[in-house]
């Protein structure tokens, strides 16, 4: 799993950065990617990226402010012209479906795939045999949600030496054992637990929408392998951040620390911070509290490491 940032600015785009959007690439796990927020210009950023809209499976919108969703109608329409014909599921707060259907309808945009819109108010919003996605309401001027993506644990490796001694030959029986099922052989029953190694623990990624510091952010980020948190201002502007329902870099680091997250990625920077030197001040503030912090950079991959890779 990898994160690919396509927009890291807050409010409005600048010459240096686009407004909010990031992709969770899961080519190995699902042969697809998920998109989180879709600010204006996101489809142009996709064209400059290794991503293909035909591989887009799901879009999660944190809230209905324009810098997080004005790019949706164009991207949804363009997907049809870029080979996207599989169903696409769109998740977000109440009002999202009206916005999307009205935008596509008034502009007479026709898409050749099934678009499924699932409005939610938090809780468990998606689960299958490989991933679970939970959401919770944060603290912002309008309803803004964070998302916790949990990769389910995978079975451990088969002990081929033990299987050979037990007389189990390669084939469908291996698959049953891998799924945790017991099998029958000529010499008796073979239980999966006896021939499987330690399960491979799944990773947890938390991606928050715009928010003040709040308990829901900490809960969503609990023990996360990677937390993406807004850092709109330096801490000298903490009062401004509070008044606009945003967070400082220091507050993002405090959330990561309280949640016992493993890595923090800062994003959603005020356009007043224009160059690397100014952004570096945000990073320096956060690292005092949470050393394993990095800045999101557009068109840069961030690998979500497993414990054994850390």
Sheet with 32-36, strands from edge to edge, namely: 115-119, 88-92, 56-60, 32-36, 21-26, 2-7, 301-303
- Whole-angstrom Cα distance, residue 125 to residue 189? 39
Select which of 37, 67, 128, 143 is catalytic: 67
The reply, when asked if residue 67 is annotated as ligand binding, is: yes
The reply, when asked if residue 268 is annotated as ligand binding, is: yes
* Residue 302: CB atoms within 10 Å: 20
Q: How far is CA 74 from CA 12, 59, 209, 257, 264, in A?
A: 18, 14, 22, 38, 31
Indicate if 67 belongs to the active site: yes
* Residue 257: CB atoms within 10 Å: 15
Binding annotation:
63, 65, 67-68, 140, 210, 268
Kindly list the catalytic residues: 67
Binding annotation for Zn(2+):
63, 65, 67-68, 140, 210, 268
């Amino acid at each position: 799993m990898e994160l690919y940032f396509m927009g890291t600015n807050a409010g409005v785009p600048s010459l240096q950065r686009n407004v909010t959007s990031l992709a969770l690439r899961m080519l190995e796990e699902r042969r697809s990617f998920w998109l989180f927020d879709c600010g204006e210009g996101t489809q142009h950023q996709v064209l400059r990226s290794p991503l293909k809209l035909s591989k887009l499976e799901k879009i999660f919108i944190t809230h209905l402010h324009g810098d997080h969703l004005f790019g949706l109608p164009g991207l949804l329409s363009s997907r049809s012209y870029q080979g996207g014909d599989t169903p696409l599921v769109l998740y977000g707060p109440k009002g999202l479906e009206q916005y999307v259907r009205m935008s596509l309808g008034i502009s007479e945009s026709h898409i050749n795939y099934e678009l499924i819109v699932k409005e939610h108010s938090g809780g468990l919003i998606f689960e299958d045999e490989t991933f679970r996605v939970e959401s919770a309401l944060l603290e912002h001027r309008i309803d803004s949600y964070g998302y916790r993506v949990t990769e389910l644990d995978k079975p451990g490796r088969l002990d081929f030496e033990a299987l050979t001694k037990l007389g189990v030959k390669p084939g469908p029986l291996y698959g049953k054992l891998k799924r945790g099922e017991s099998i029958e052989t000529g010499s008796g029953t073979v239980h999966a637990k006896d021939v499987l190694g330690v399960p491979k623990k799944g990773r947890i990624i938390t991606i928050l929408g715009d928010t003040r510091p709040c308990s829901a952010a900490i809960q969503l980020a609990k023990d996360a392998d990677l937390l993406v948190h807004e850092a709109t201002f330096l801490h000298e502007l903490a009062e401004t951040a509070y008044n606009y329902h945003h967070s400082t870099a220091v507050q993002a680091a405090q959330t990561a620390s309280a949640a016992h997250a493993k890595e923090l990625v800062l994003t959603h920077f005020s356009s007043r911070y224009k160059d690397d030197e100014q952004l570096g001040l945000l990073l320096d503030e956060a690292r005092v509290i949470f050393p394993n912090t990095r800045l999101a950079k557009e068109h840069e991959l961030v690998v979500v490491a497993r414990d054994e890779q850390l």
